[in-house]
Amino acid sequence: MSTQILILQLFCFVKGNGFSTALAALLLAWIFFKFSSWASKSKKNLRLPPGPMALPVIGNLHRLGKLPHRSLADLASKYGPIMFLRLGSVPTVVVSSAEMSKEILKTHDQKFASRPRMSFANNVLYDSSSLGFAAYGDYWKHIRKAVTSQLLGPKSLESLKSMRAQEMRAMVDGLTQHCNSPVNISELAFSVTTSMSCKMNLGINYSESRTGFNIIELVHEFFYIGGIFNIGDFIPWVNWMDVQGVNRRQKNLHRKFDAFLDKILEEHLQARARGEPMGDFTDELLGLMDHPEHKFTRDEVKANMLEMLFTAIDTSSLTTEWAMSELLAGPPSLMEKVQHELERVVGAGKKYVEESDLADLEYLRAVVKETLRVHLPVPLLLPRQATEDCQIGGYHIPRGCHVTVNAWAGARDPNAWGMDAELFRPERFVEETVDLDVKGQHFEVLPFGGGRRICPGMALGLKVVQLLLANLVHSFNWRLPNGMQARDLDMREEFGLSTPRAVPL
């Protein structure tokens, strides 16, 4: 007797005998589950990756902990570099080595190029319309092409060179006035990168109040709410209850951003009508509303304005903050080596480091690369979704399965980095692995992801971090305040949309 007939007969029996709806649903679900389990086991060559036993309802969610990238790395040490978990009701494969990451991001890249739908992207980013969260398809291809060729192409980055130089000079001049006073480097890096991102993306100074919004507060709220774990993403049948209030907070945040972005768009549209386009990234995005292949909607433009604004801020400020943390926490010779190189290349009498100096600052670049290895801005790459059945490492990955690359685990793998993989040692990018880079072609370290979904702002992000760090270290001598020793510096991290320091520097 087929399962469909059996379920139909049971339903008719239950209905005719007056059993409760709940009992009927339970029996039907049990029969369906048993049949599905039997059917899946009967198929050949559908061996799932190994993984821990899942609990009812929550699956393996309890295994994630406060720092999921570390918890998953611990599980990988037991179950291997590719493992299967059930996060609530969501089947998830986690890969934790360079070899397995290459399978996902290069060998089978197209099969894993799409994104699962998540509440934050749906509620805040205009129904997942931004480049980072959009499903793989024609729309994603159009926006990707526009961003990489127009908005973040070499010509565009060169045109903003003078703006970056002005921001660096303003920062150095401001710090000079506060010599011998404590400086909050976390706030400083955040402020500088926010200012640069606002000018580059929106054509405004973030300190200006003409929009009627506090941009700094909006930015902080974006990252705070974006980092809240939403149980409804993993157990969909409780999502409608919004037991944590996360959906409500996300929608409230969206309304704030929508009003803010509408004001920015109106300013740009009026400027274009006068024949005086502002020439920033928003202006370029507005041009896509007349795109011959896909006429972008106003909401699609706003979604990408929002994403480009915040990704430019977060990666650059956090990487600079962690780099300074490592220079201050390490032996004095570490900071001295960077400063000596700057004196040799830039000159001790020169106040500012220019972009033209960066090509000759080999050790500074190594410090930035090592910072990106040890303190990945996004330790768990944004989840991907299998668009068809696939074999990875001899295991079956079913269509619809979520796939997460634990880049943090790969960047600390002793097989790739040696037994000192936990240590901050920039020399590994100078003496031992000079051919290894952080731009997505070497899967041992993936600060910007890889494959089709690699971060399009990678070149800009690296340039800003190098320039910011170089100016901080070249112009000033730094020490910890109030008699603190290097060993006293708290190097713990927090987990959210990114991994900031638990205690600001």
Annotated binding site for heme: 455
Q: How far apart are CA 363 and CA 126, in angstroms?
A: 42
Length of the chain: 505
Token pair, residue 166, equals 């002005």
Residues in binding site:
455
Instruction: With beta carbons less than 8 A apart as the criterion, state whether 69 and 406 touch.
Output: yes
For 117, the token pair is: 């739908």
Between the alpha carbon of residue 155 and those of residues 51, 96, 148, 402, 455, the distances in Å are 48, 37, 11, 37, 18
Give Cβ neighbours of residue 314 (< 8 Å, ≥ 6 apart): 223, 377, 497, 498
CB 93 within 8 A of CB 396: no
Q: Which two tokens stand for residue 368?
A: 């930035």
- If residue 261 lies in a helix (H) or strand (E), which one and from where to where? helix 246-273
Which DSSP state fits 50?
P
Please give the Cα distance from 89 to 233 (Å, whole number): 9
**Rounded distance between C-alpha atoms, residue 363 and residue 72, angstroms:** 32
Pairing of strands 402-405, 90-95: parallel
3-state secondary structure 115-162: CCCCHHHHHHCCCCCCCCCCCCCHHHHHHHHHHHHHHCCHHHHHHCHH
CA distance 373 to 19: 59
Q: Are 212 and 263 in contact (CB under 8 A)?
A: yes
Q: How far apart are CA 28 and CA 156, in angstroms?
A: 59
Task: Return the closest-CA partner of residue 264 out of 297, 306, 296.
Answer: 306
CA 156 – CA 196 distance, rounded (Å) = 14
Q: Which residues are within 8 A (CB) of 152 and not within 5 positions of it... i.e. 6 or more apart? A: 456, 457, 459, 460
Q: How far is CA 84 from the centre of its chain?
A: 22
Instruction: Tell me the two tokens of residue 444.
Output: 């041992």
